[in-house]
């Protein structure tokens, strides 16, 4: 797969942990240079150091409108182009809506949907400069199912799907592929899962996906030949009953 990704420039949001970090690692292993976007500057810099010159940290808070394009500006100034935009950053809450702090609800809307619209809009001119480029969004099974106690989160993921389905039809003539990966439960901090032994046990029971599983699928999507377009890919733990 290295040849297909070699020399490409990618921006990965939510890269400080979980799926975003795993995808960043896979892209670098495939020969990409990666801009690492996220809120935790210390973690981003540590990951950039581990990736040994193939990645740069771009700390940003996607809930703040003034900060949304800062990682894209860094990609342009550092590398002069963008081939792959990975829209992975997200916030999650599964409190019953009546009990959920409305500020948390608004932050989910801002990060999970509004920032995606704004960052994608700003990135399109750069992506259109390439003969072939990619927009890869990490959505959620909540975007195609109505999950109990995830009213606002599910709404943001449904909105994300609708946006990407329409965008896909608008930019295909520009050589831009738009793909959504819709995972079920992934063993990440989003679900409070960080302990390796616990994660390994849940994986053995087929109750969760690893972040690396999603990263493998991301690599599969991004290395398809130009005539292949994958609109959406739902991936679940085998034992998840949805």
In the residue annotation, 153 being an active-site residue is answered as: yes
CA angle 192-93-242, nearest 5°? 85
Band of residue 1 on the pLDDT scale cut at 50, 70, 90: very low
CB proximity list for 228: less than 8 A, separation 6 or greater: none
Task: Give the span between the Cα atoms of 218 and 222, in whole angstroms.
Answer: 6
Q: How confident is the model at residue 190 (pLDDT cuts 50, 70, 90)?
A: confident
45-56 pLDDT tens trace: 999 999 988 999
Structure tokens at 241: 């009953």
Among 153, 156, 182, 188, the one annotated catalytic: 153
Over the stretch 47-103, which tens digit does the pLDDT of each residue have? 999 998 899 999 999 999 889 999 999 999 999 999 999 999 999 888 889 888 999
Fold of 2-235: Rossmann fold (3.40.50)
């Amino acid at each position: 797969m290295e040849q297909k990704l070699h020399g490409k420039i990618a921006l990965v949001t939510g890269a400080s942990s979980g799926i975003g970090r795993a995808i960043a690692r896979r892209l670098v292993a495939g020969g990409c240079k990666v801009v690492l976007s996220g809120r935790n500057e210390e973690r981003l810099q540590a990951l950039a150091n581990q990736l040994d010159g193939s990645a740069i940290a771009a700390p940003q808070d996607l809930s703040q409108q003034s900060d949304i394009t800062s990682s894209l500006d860094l990609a342009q100034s550092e590398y002069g182009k963008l081939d792959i935009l990975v829209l992975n950053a997200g916030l999650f809450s599964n409190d019953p809506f009546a009990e959920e702090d409305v500020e948390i609800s608004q932050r989910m809307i801002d990060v999970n949907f509004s920032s995606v619209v704004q960052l994608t809009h700003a990135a399109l001119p750069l992506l259109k400069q390439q003969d072939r480029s990619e927009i890869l969004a990490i959505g959620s099974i909540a975007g195609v199912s109505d999950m109990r106690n995830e009213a606002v989160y599910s709404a943001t993921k449904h909105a994300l799907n609708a946006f990407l389905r329409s965008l896909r039809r608008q930019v295909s003539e520009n050589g831009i592929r738009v793909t959504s990966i819709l995972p079920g439960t992934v063993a990440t901090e989003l679900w409070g899962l960080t302990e390796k032994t616990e994660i390994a046990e849940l994986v053995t029971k087929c109750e969760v996906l690893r972040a690396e599983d999603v990263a493998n699928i991301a690599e599969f999507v991004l290395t398809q030949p130009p005539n292949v377009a994958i609109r959406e890919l739902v991936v679940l733990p085998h034992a998840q009953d949805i």
